[in-house]
């Protein structure tokens, strides 16, 4: 596993790759101790040189453009298409279905957990909420665009304030 960081306007973003594609993107180095995989002390370990990991450069460019309001497309799960970033998050078959569905939510739009549940053929919005919360690739698989019933913002793995700011960014 290769690890790199990106200094976003909302705080440090940690990127992970298997050397070919992005496998995770998370807000806050303090969220994960990359050596143990546990919530931890905020350290990012020294790993193999990341200069040779092309996906990190692609993701940095994507984030630069996203945070400046110029980039609106989501990532592609699996094989790279149309110059979009390819991601390979690890999860159950159900999580993969939910994450694939999240990747179809257009920039600037929101959908409810219940709508996602209907799209994936699940009767439980709560099960969908758990899968959404387990999304390891924030931003590129836009879990921040999923809201609670009646337009309430709902929860977010990285805090409601970051979710609000992301949604505001996309409304400009």
List, in order of start, the domains of the chain with CATH numbers: 2-77 (3.30.160.70), 90-171 (1.10.10.10)
The sign of the CA dihedral 108, 111, 112, 116 is negative
pLDDT tens track for 21-59: 899 999 986 544 433 333 333 334 444 455 568 889 989
Q: Which residues are catalytic?
A: 143
- Enumerate helices (H) and strands (E) in the chain, giving the number of each: 5, 7
pTM of the predicted model over 0.75: yes
């Amino acid at each position: 596993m290769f690890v790199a960081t990106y200094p976003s306007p909302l705080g440090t973003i940690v990127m992970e790759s298997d050397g070919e594609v992005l496998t995770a993107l998370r807000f806050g180095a303090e969220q994960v101790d990359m050596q143990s995989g546990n919530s931890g002390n905020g350290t990012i370990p020294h790993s193999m040189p990341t200069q040779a990991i092309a996906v990190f450069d692609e993701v940095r460019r994507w984030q630069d453009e996203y945070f400046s309001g110029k980039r609106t497309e989501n990532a592609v799960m699996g094989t790279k298409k149309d110059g979009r970033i390819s991601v390979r998050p690890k999860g159950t078959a159900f999580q993969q279905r939910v994450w694939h569905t999240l990747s179809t939510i257009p920039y600037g739009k929101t959908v409810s957990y219940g709508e996602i549940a209907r799209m994936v053929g699940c009767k439980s919005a709560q099960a969908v909420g758990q899968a959404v919360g387990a999304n390891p690739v924030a931003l590129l698989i836009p879990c921040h665009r999923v809201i609670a019933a009646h337009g309430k913002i709902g929860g977010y793995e990285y805090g409601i304030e970051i979710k609000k700011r992301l949604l505001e960014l996309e409304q400009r």
